[in-house]
Chain A
């Protein structure tokens, strides 16, 4: 059982708080992604878990054992570094076998495990080479092989794909996902690429400025973000945000865009009560809006500004009053720039955001920022 419990971990560098009261539990054999922009504290948190740059406050336990201040060597984990950190003066074989050699494993066993890992990563023919003779992609495989050979219960990965070119990254992502599913270790994966996070994680912890914004499954983080930052960070193109006002129209709660209005779904009635006649911000994803070439009830008239054909979809930039939205449509829908079309907003796809706190409002109890 390699459950990792992180309680109120903080890390400070001089005047900057890099990680602030991070609390989360990584379940046994779970693939957890720490996602966020540069400087959000994800790598700092990972390094604290590894024992490089230990936490200033809080507690980290692995498998029930308090490891907060243990040296890395005693934590029984493996790590893949962003820059690979392959030892330049050793051959690939010596690199991969380094951990086992430090553990004084018997030579025959080392050879067997090294050969096995090399096979898994398809670098069997590179074993006698030196790192300086290899491409970035090959070095990355050596780094992963070195980590897997240890067969540790906990695997940490610090942006392992970020130094690869786009095509290689795509291939390695799938290969890594398949490989790690077989390996079955508790894995913490740090990245700034939300596509990697969505595609690989069992759960995603989104971080910003040292604070965990949301901890949820990928689909939840995507469709039910806890705040505006998460909504804008996840998804490509990012979520659209429209400033509007909320008003009461008879029995209905409606949000007014320019001259049109859209009804709020009944389940949001209670949560939105305090926002009547006040500004509200609406979040909606590009693919969730319907485009119509003719007016219809509840559809908002807008103007097409730019049409970008992306092959699998068309990305339209739409002007709605003063605000610009991105709408993605089927590739056959190609209106002329400057033409008028109508947008329909399905009520259940709208996300309601408090313009001041930037929190997303959900019906019933407030959505948890750090779901457990």
Chain B
């Protein structure tokens, strides 16, 4: 540098070493991964335990200490024992019937409601939406009590239909919100384009909107199915002879054997797990990530 003594030194760029940067993970990222692994294990290990106990012999279930390795021996005898137990078969059928009824009723009611809320500005619309959100703020158990009282007062108990109505009432708020957002994601301009090109509003709805919202509505109805399937509180109160499976299991909790409980618990879990696998993509979309 041929600078005179009074001029400041010429600055040079810092050595960033860009090629090496990418390979080194930061401590923050490693911490996130570690936390993710711990939380996943915390949830998965009990599930795994359940799974292995449900598919082994009853002696193994009763034995102590437990073998660390799973499925030794692998046996379906526990499951068979559970499924053949008194009331389980009927309970299963009842659960399915109630869940299907709930699914149909709530989808039939929530779809037009969701469409109206997303497309039309009607007086009271904001109040309606706020009301739906407010209902969701309360735990389902809390909502079940006054509803159950109402049902009992009108002699609507111990029938599968009344339980389905109850479940529909509980599931509707979430369904309407999900379906409204699904409809909102279909730009109204698409319906308008359909109309310009010769479709009546109904045809436009059928050919353009329905195919686009079907996945979202399907996700919402599966959610409703699982909600009804797992619902135990109202089912216990409202049914006596026609018990659903969760109500049955809850009732026999103090008397049933461990094996019975493991098998029952696993059986109750299965629909939820399957459901989760199918709607993972939709959950990501609702969260904000767009995945193909």
Contact = CB atoms under 8 A, between A and B. Distances in A.
A102 B194 CA distance: 9
B192 interface: yes
Interface stretch (B53-61, B138-146, B195-203, B238-246): B195-203
A83 B189 CA distance: 9
A73 B192 contact: no
B195 A88 contact: no
Contact of B195 (A51, A87, A89, A146): A51
Contact of A73 (B187, B189, B199, B211): B199
Contacts of B41: none
A83 B200 CA distance: 21
Contacts of A89: 208, 211-212
Interface stretch (A74-82, A110-118, A221-229, A245-253): A74-82
Contacts of A50: 196
B190 interface: yes
Given A89-B211, A89-B212, A72 B195 contact: yes
A147 to B, nearest CB: 8
Interface in A94-120: 98-99, 102-103
Counting chain A CB atoms within 10 Å of each CB, which of B194, B196, B201, B211 scores highest? B196
**Residue of B195, B200, B211 ringed by the most chain A CB atoms within 10 A:** B195
A93 to B, nearest CB: 15
Contacts, number: 53
B202 to A, nearest CB: 11
Contacts of B201: 71
A51 B196 CA distance: 8
Classify chain A: how many residues form its interface, as a range: 20 to 34
A87 to B, nearest CB: 6
A51 B218 CA distance: 33
A84 to B, nearest CB: 9
B193 interface: yes
Contacts of A73: 195-200
Contacts of B192: 52, 72, 81, 85
Contact of A98 (B189, B197, B212): B197
B198 to A, nearest CB: 4
Given A79-B193, A102-B203, A85 B198 contact: no
Contacts of A81: 189, 192-193
A85 B189 contact: yes
Given A85-B187, A102-B203, A78 B211 contact: no
B196 A79 contact: yes
B122 to A, nearest CB: 16
Interface of B: 187, 189-190, 192-201, 203, 208, 211-212
16 contacts: A50-B196, A51-B196, A72-B192, A77-B196, A78-B197, A79-B196, A81-B189, A83-B187, A83-B189, A85-B192, A87-B193, A87-B208, A88-B212, A89-B212, A99-B198, A102-B203
